Structure 1
Amino acid sequence: MFARCFCSVHWRTLPFGRRRVYFHSTAKEPRLVLGIETSCDDTGAAILDENGKILGEALHSQKDVHLKTGGIIPVVAQKLHADHIDSVVNEALSASGLTPQALSAVATTVMPGLALSLGVGLSYSLKMVKQYSKPFIPIHHMEAHALTVRLLHQVEFPFLVLLVSGGHCILAVAKNVADFLVLGQSLDEAPGESLDKVARRLSLINNPDCSAMSGGQAIEHMAQFGNKELCNFRIPMSHHRDCNFSFSGLRNHINYVIQQKESEEGIQQGQILSCAADIAAASQHTVARQLAKRTQRAILFCKEKGLLPAANATLVVSGGVASNGYIRRILKNVSYSMDVSLLCPPPKLCTDNGVMIAWNGIERLRAGVGILYNAEEVRYEPRAPLGTDISDIVRKADIKVPTLKEKLFLDIA
């Protein structure tokens, strides 16, 4: 509806200089979507065409500001989004060589996320679509993470997706665009949040090698030099035969161990333990094992219920924590052992960005789903479920998962 048409024109010269025009074919210009992301602490914008070509993108990260405060302060994040959103969007447009008039639609994250951050992106977008008379496509942040892989690979529906980030941990079957069956999710903290808090409790920001890293990045970096066997942390919810997750209890246990070690070494909080790398390695390993165990049960459930193709089933892992190489390798080993293909977006597209929002907009535009021509009543939603929750059905299936063979976790650098 919004694509412009161009015709291939052939000319034939006639007597007295007249020319006859022949219209041989009609080609449609690919539709273009601007994606805007402000759900947490990154301001992102990107323009994609419906063939998946990235025409322009820009990102402003707030990481350095929040590292200094020890965590994200919503009012600070809001101000930084407001200060930079216009320049980020204009940078993406400039890189694409396009004007807003050329856009087919604007797609923006409206759920879930930090309320103040979501509000900045939504307010900016609504003004833009009104000014240029463009359709608006509201985006669920986790849906965007789940579908990003289809920008890069020919992944057909349905597929299993594990979404792991600083704010979420979800196992779901992606049946189609905007159609998900949630098998399980975190009952308290997300894995990224827990690892960030462990990093802060270990004071890793005071390690020169980690001073410019996020908490999760610091844990992964330190874990390379540690021995995961020196701290024995139990996998949470091991006796619950479902696909839900829990990380807060694990984090509390880790904090207790850190406190004990500080007492043994006679150091104050803020100083770095001699065994910090070992604790980092064990923390990362235990989080990875819980993710692997739940994913293993999800695969067995999907096979039992026929929710995935009998052959060539795919597991997609996405979200900020999917950037962790150690966790990726463990999930790759698990998926291989269960005859399932594993696909992950590159780290750049696992963290929050405008590209995934624009691509989700393209997916919805193609499917004709959720396109609004009057967006005045759209509101942001800090908490919003993804799809239909069938976690009770998974629990009632009472699927026993075979013990994960230790070789899946050995020799992983």
Structure 2
Amino acid sequence: MSDSASHSKELLLAIESSCDETAAAVIDSNRRILSSVISTQHELHERFGGVVPEIASRAHVERILPVIDETLRQAGVTLQQIGAVAVATQPGLVGSLLVGLTAAKTLACVLDVPLLAIDHIAAHLYACRIAAGRDVFPAVGLVVSGGHSNLYDCASPVDFELLGSTIDDAAGEAFDKVAQILGLGYPGGPLIEQAARDGDPAAIPFPRAFLNEDRLEFSFSGLKTAVKYAAHGTPGARALPPELTPRRIADLAASFQTAVVDVLVGKTEQALRQTGRARLLVGGGVAANAVLRGRLEDMATRRRIELHIAARELCTDNAAMGALGWELWERGRFSPLDLDVTPGLVRKRSSASS
């Protein structure tokens, strides 16, 4: 693809299909979102209590073209006005990622415009740049979602180093599983938050893994198990747990949520101390949680840290955060048409392009 094509048309089409949202967005060079369309699959996965990869992939195949078409329509532009195509290629579900990548490759080839490979995690942090309307790097980055609980040292929008991550369940995954344990439904994050409003956050002293340790890692599997035992009893125990009344559910939800937030805020503060950074970026679905946002704001004020949390509409998976593609476009970091997906998490120092 010719480099001249990349600067003759100043619109970026971004595509996102890493998990269970099929999304596309049109973004101009000022990072202004002209349109953003998301087709969620919650109704397909609800009865399973989590995302089923095969179902997600099939749904992406059915929805990708209508979503792109609607995105262009809402932006009031045609494909001929698109100057580059950005697509999430890592991390995520391999089948889901491949659907988006195939669509992006096809468009880039037919339109003769550059193809830009987006790191989904870096894009979650770039959502903070979109909201700020200015450069927010370097910074420490916290990404908390259904699949990731990661801390990064972000030297720039396209250069970041993993400082630590979860060794088992991600925070969002724990929210989903605990919501199932408490009979609240799916997705768990908003339902736990709603139930917790009527509960006592100090009712049950749930564990806070690694909170007082130096390593920048998370673990939420033991916390999830502790909630299960508190709700339904410990195997082999003679005593039955208290009845699972609405009040008890509220107390369990509030105590669980507080334990998660304590760990996320504590380890983030530790990362800020270790790196010496004075700016913090926060993104991902769990970043929409009001308690977490409030606690991060308190910590930032106390430590005199410049805090940027992604707007709630950009916390969950979306293509608008693919505005990160502009950083690659402006740096000439184009990808070849034989580009492949990278489903797993890149744990070493990385670039935001594949």
Distance 1:386 1:350, change over 3 A: farther
Point out 4+ residue stretches in structure 1 off by more than 6 angstroms: none
Please give the alpha-carbon distance, in whole angstroms, between the structure 2 residues aligned to 1:249 and 1:364. Answer: 40
Indicate yes or no: 2:5 matched with 1:2.
yes
Deviations 1:270-326 (A, max 9, x none): xx66400100000000000001110111111122xxxx3xxxx21111111000011
RMSD after superposition: 1.9
Task: Identify which of 50, 56, 73 aligns with 1:71.
Answer: 50
Partner AA of 2:163 in structure 1: L
Indicate yes or no: 2:106 matched with 1:131.
no
Task: Identify which of 202, 211, 219 aligns with 1:238.
Answer: 211
Distance 1:181 1:250, change over 3 A: same
Shift of 1:362: 1.1
Equivalent residues of 1:45, 1:353 under 8 A apart? yes
Residue 166 (structure 2) aligns with: 186
Equivalent residues of 2:208, 2:259 under 8 A apart? yes
Residue 280 (structure 2) aligns with: 315
Shift of 1:160: 1.2
Q: Which moved more, 1:176-185 or 1:157-166?
A: 176-185
Residue 405 (structure 1) aligns with: none
Structure 2 residues without counterparts, runs of 5 or longer: none
Task: Identify which of 312, 315, 325 aligns with 1:361.
Answer: 325
Aligned residue pairs: how many?
Answer: 342
- After the TM superposition, which residues 62-141 of structure 1 pair with which residues of structure 2 at under 5 Å, given as runs? 62-141=41-120
Residue 33 (structure 1) aligns with: 12
- After the TM superposition, which residues 254-273 of structure 1 pair with which residues of structure 2 at under 5 Å, given as runs? 254-260=227-233, 263-265=240-242
Structure 1 residues without counterparts, runs of 5 or longer: 6-28, 206-212, 390-413
Please give the alpha-carbon distance, in whole angstroms, between the structure 2 residues aligned to 1:50 and 1:141. Answer: 20
Task: Identify which of 221, 226, 237 aligns with 2:199.
Answer: 226
Residue 176 (structure 2) aligns with: 196
Please give the alpha-carbon distance, in whole angstroms, between the structure 2 residues aligned to 1:322 and 1:164. Answer: 6
Partner AA of 1:264 in structure 2: P
Partner AA of 1:2 in structure 2: A
Equivalent residues of 2:174, 2:220 under 8 A apart? yes
Residue 224 (structure 2) aligns with: 251
Please give the alpha-carbon distance, in whole angstroms, between the structure 2 residues aligned to 1:365 and 1:266. Answer: 58
Distance 1:361 1:278, change over 3 A: same
Taking only the aligned residue pairs, the percentage that are identical comes to 33
Equivalent residues of 1:180, 1:387 under 8 A apart? no
SS of 2:346's equivalent?
coil
Give TM-score, length-normalised by structure 1.
0.79
Equivalent residues of 1:172, 1:180 under 8 A apart? yes
Q: Which has the higher contact order (CA 8 A, sep 6+)?
A: 2
Shift of 1:265: 4.7
Equivalent residues of 1:139, 1:361 under 8 A apart? yes
Distance 1:387 1:101, change over 3 A: farther
Residue 270 (structure 2) aligns with: 297
Equivalent residues of 1:108, 1:137 under 8 A apart? yes
Shift of 1:329: 0.6
Task: Identify which of 308, 312, 336 aligns with 1:343.
Answer: 308
